[in-house]
Amino acid sequence: MMSRHEPFAGDLDRLPNRDRTAGERSYYRAYGLLIASDVWLPELEPADPATADIEIVIGPIDMPKPSAKAATVFRFEPGRQYLAWEAVGAFLISDARRIDVQPAPGVDDALLAFPLLGPVLALLLHQRGLLVLHASAIAVAGRGAIFMGDKGAGKSTTASALIRAGHDLLTDDVVALDLTNPDEPMIVPGFPQIKLAADAAAAISLGQAQVRPQVHPAIEKMQHRLHGAFSGNKVPAARIYILERGERARVTLLPQIAALPAIIKFSYVTRFGRAALSGDFAAMHLRHCSAIANHVGVCRLDVPTGIDRIGEAVALIEKELAGDA
Please state, in angstroms and rounded to a whole number, the distance separating the CA atoms of residues 292 and 187: 11
In single-letter form, the type of residue at position 217 comes to P
* Last residue within a domain, chosen from 101, 127, 153: 127
* Shared domain check, 182 and 86: no
Q: Do 113 and 178 belong to one domain?
A: no
Q: Are residues 62 and 157 in the same domain?
A: no
How far is the C-alpha of 72 from the C-alpha of 308, rounded, in Å? Answer: 39
Residues 228 and 216 in one domain: yes
Clarify whether residues 212 and 306 are in a common domain. yes
Phi, psi (rounded to 5 degrees) for 148: -115, 165
Do 67 and 180 reside in the same domain of the chain? no
State if pTM tops 0.85: yes
3-state secondary structure of 74: strand
Task: Tell whether 256 and 300 lie within a shared domain.
Answer: yes
> Do 67 and 176 fall within a single domain?
no
Q: List the chain pLDDT tens, one digit each, 325 residues.
A: 433 334 434 444 444 444 444 458 999 999 999 999 999 999 999 999 999 999 999 999 999 999 878 899 999 988 899 999 999 999 999 999 999 999 999 999 999 999 999 999 999 999 999 999 999 999 998 999 999 999 878 888 899 889 989 899 999 999 999 999 989 999 999 999 988 776 666 656 666 677 776 666 667 777 888 888 899 899 999 999 999 988 899 999 999 889 999 999 999 999 888 888 877 888 999 999 999 999 999 999 999 888 888 899 999 999 988 864 4
Query: Domain range for residue 70?
Result: 2-127
CATH of the domain at 203: 3.40.50.300
Residue 19 shares a structural domain with residue 96: yes
Please, how many CA atoms are within 13 Å of residue 313, restricted to the half-sphere of its CB?
A: 31
pLDDT single digits (tens) 224-270: 888 888 998 999 999 999 999 888 999 999 998 899 999 999 999 99
| Together in a domain, 164 and 50 | no
Task: DSSP for 128-153, please give it.
Answer: TT-EEEEEEEEEETTEEEEEE-STTS
Considering the domain architecture, whether residues 167 and 211 belong to the same structural domain is answered as yes
Last residue of a domain, one of 96, 127, 158: 127
Number of domains making up the chain: 2
Domain co-membership, 78 together with 144: no
d(CA 92, CA 83): 7
